Chains A and B, each alone.
Chain A
């Protein structure tokens, strides 16, 4: 078993794609940055000196010092600890949004591209309609119905932004449908369902992976923007957007309350953007987004 894994790793690390990726300096930088964020998120319990909701009235709005590396907020909470726990939320939210988006968008794209005709027209019409809504505005409208909260924001952002998955998977499916192996699969009596998921889907995966990597940063930016407006994560959740929402009232008195959460949003979004660009260059150089 271990030998098999070793063999796999060996064949992967000597593969053309891997070597291309390793030569992509920005991609490697993105991967390192992302690994750092993941490390912070996973080991939060060990890294954070305080709990994220530990209030200390005697040390409110303290500037960064050796005791509080990033300073403290209006309730005397340690900002460094909150940022460290916030990494979990940001990465989890980004991942969740992308999984929901792909869960809606990919099957619709497969069906539209596979069946064509009126099914395709119907699905494309919905996709176009969704495209006509400015995402943040629609997300705001949905949050108005569902009420504030991080889960509702995740749902709202996912609902408004699955359309790119449908468009790209549909286009890929259409180009795959004329290939011989699809004709062969159908000739030996594979069902539509099985053809779609066993033969077409794997061939669209490279594009979906690239798209997913590149939509995680916008998912993180949208959800933090909604939290910043006060519609997302509610206190004392250490969501970076919510921290900015609380910190903006003290922007001049205690700028560190705002500087660090924003910096970490930027670094996280940057890591995915760098990685996504590199993956596109390696996996699917012709992919056009938007």
Chain B
């Protein structure tokens, strides 16, 4: 199968997944306890006729599938509804918060891949030595630590005892340092583990033995021949990691009181501001599907064998 066909096929698979997700999400919100009109009025005293009028105005007197299409037609146009609490547009609310979350994710991802790939390489090349043992154990410990607790400990050490970094709210880029580290720790351990496993496997391959036998120098064998192939699954993981990172961001942003999308989600759940919750979950899910599809495409570009192997089973 050609690359282009593969990419198109992957993109076409992403579309029904997103539709399925919107249906599930709409249904979850539909099943929520509480009458949205009453929530909207927030205790205001109005006549039953007025309630009926509002119900009709919001389309809530229609059957659920009509409501779904009504909602979907707005979503497609970029209208995610109105916050019941602040009466602001959900799209606006999210677009104000999204940059913080994206920057946080980007920095923590860069950090975790820098540390993870380096540690993975060292442990793979020094396999069976003391360094390998120590770093590998440190890795297992790192992903056993709850990120939010690690964040609290960082706050204590760097924000309180040494007063080096801000611990709460957003006062500029320095406010992202501790949250990014808390978010990066567990994922760097996974990256390390994968890099090590892949590198060890690749180093045992025939073509690496051939490269050694040809008398190529060490650097060339390790970095050009081995690393390039070992990195393919690591690159894929980069894309598949995104949903996990967003999940972590909700907890970490809440802990550090960062004005990002994760904290907005937390606050909206507490306030029962369902329109905002629905909007954020939708954005996150679409981002996830997009990144998963990108991951599939990138791996197909890097490793042509995948196109053939996976092409058949679709």
| A residues apposed to B, CB below 8 Å | 26, 125, 128-129, 131-138, 140-145, 217, 221, 224-225, 228-231, 241, 244, 248, 251-252, 255, 258-259, 261-262, 265-267, 269-270, 273-274, 277, 290
The docked-state distance in angstroms from the alpha carbon of A252 to that of B156 is: 7
Shortest Cβ distance from A184 into chain B, in angstroms? 28
> Are A255's CB and B17's CB within 8 A?
no
Cross-chain contact of B292 among A132, A221, A252 (Cβ < 8 A): A132
Let me know if A221 and B140 touch, CB within 8 A: no
Find chain B residues with CB under 8 A from A125 CB: 20
CA of A228 to CA of B266 in the docked complex: distance in angstroms? 12
Contact A229 B285 (CB under 8 A): no
Partner of A266, one of B32, B149, B152, B254: B149
> CB within 8 A of A273: which of B140, B148, B251?
B140
Contact B149 A244 (CB under 8 A): yes
Chain B window 146-169, contacts with chain A (Cβ cutoff 8 Å), 1 for yes, 0 for no: 111110110110001000000000
Contacts of A128 in B (CB 8 A): 17
- Assess whether A134 is in contact with B288, with CB atoms less than 8 Å apart: yes
Contacts of B17 in A (CB 8 A): 128-129, 132
Q: Judging by beta carbons under 8 Å apart, are A145 and B32 in contact?
A: yes
B311 to A: closest C-beta gap in Å? 16
B250/A140 in contact, CB under 8 A: yes
> A251 contacts B246, CB within 8 Å?
no
With A129-B20, A132-B17 in contact, is A244–B148 under 8 Å at CB? yes
Contact across chains for B146 and A262 when beta carbons are under 8 A apart = yes
Tell me which of A145, A225, A274 contacts B31 (CB under 8 A).
A145
A144: which B residues are within 8 A, CB to CB?
32, 269, 274, 277
Q: A134-B247, A266-B141 are in contact. List 8 more A-B contacts (CB 8 A).
A: A129-B20, A136-B247, A137-B243, A137-B246, A141-B28, A231-B269, A262-B149, A262-B153
A225 touches B156 (CB 8 A): no
For B18, give the chain A residue with the smallest CB separation: A132
Q: B146 contacts which of A142, A143, A225, A251 (Cβ < 8 Å)?
A: A225
Q: Complex Cα distance A97/B240, Å?
A: 23
Residue of B nearest to A217 (CB): B144
A3 to B264, CA, bound (A): 63
* Chain B residues whose C-beta falls within 8 Å of the C-beta of A266 in the assembled complex: 141, 144-146, 149
Q: Contact at A259–B140, with CB atoms within 8 Å?
A: no
The one of B28, B254, B285 in contact with A132, judged by C-beta atoms closer than 8 angstroms, is: B285
**What are 6 A-B contacts defined by CB distance under 8 Å?**
A132-B292, A133-B285, A143-B269, A217-B144, A244-B149, A251-B155
- Nearest neighbor of A160 in chain B, beta-carbon distance: B247
- Closest chain-A Cβ to B57's Cβ sits at a distance in Å of 26
Q: Which residues of A contact B294 (CB under 8 A)?
A: none
Give the Cβ gap from B262 to chain A, nearest Cβ, in Å: 9
Q: Which residue of chain B has its CB nearest to the CB of A267? A: B144
Q: Contacts A144-B277, A258-B149, A258-B152: A136 and B160 contacting too (C-beta < 8 A)?
A: no
* Residue in A closest to B233 when the chains form the complex, CB atoms: A288
Residue in contact with B140 in the complex, picked from A26, A133, A244, CB distance below 8 Å: A26
**Residues in B whose Cβ lies below 8 Å from that of A273:** 140, 143-144
| B98 within 8 Å of A (CB atoms) | no
Assess whether A140 is in contact with B265, with CB atoms less than 8 Å apart.
yes
Hey, what's the 0/1 contact readout for B267-296 against A, CB within 8 Å counting as 1? 001100010010001001100110010000
- Give residues 126-150 of B contacting A (CB, 8 Å): 137, 140-141, 143-150
Say yes or no for B111: interface residue by CB 8 A criterion.
Answer: no
Residues of B within 8 A of A277 (CB): 140
Residue B122 lies at the interface, judged by CB distance under 8 Å to chain A: no
> How far is A228 from B284 in the complex, measured between Cα atoms in Å?
22
The answer to whether B11 has its CB under 8 Å from any CB of chain A is no
**B141 contacts A270, C-beta separation under 8 Å:** yes
Tell me which of B144, B152, B281 contacts A137 (CB under 8 A).
Answer: B281
The distance in angstroms between the C-alpha atoms of A128 and B160, with both chains bound, is 44
Q: Which residues of B contact A141 (CB under 8 A)?
A: 25, 28, 277, 281
- Tell me the smallest distance from the CB of A185 to a CB of chain B, in Å: 26
- Asked if B251 contacts A136 (CB within 8 A), the reply is yes
In the bound assembly, the distance between CA atoms of A277 and B144 in angstroms comes to 13
- CB contacts (< 8 Å) of B160 on chain A: these are 251-252
Rounded to whole Å, the gap between the CB of B240 and the closest CB of chain A is 8
The answer to whether A248 touches B255, judged by C-beta atoms less than 8 angstroms apart, is yes
> Which residues in A have their C-beta under 8 angstroms from that of B248?
136
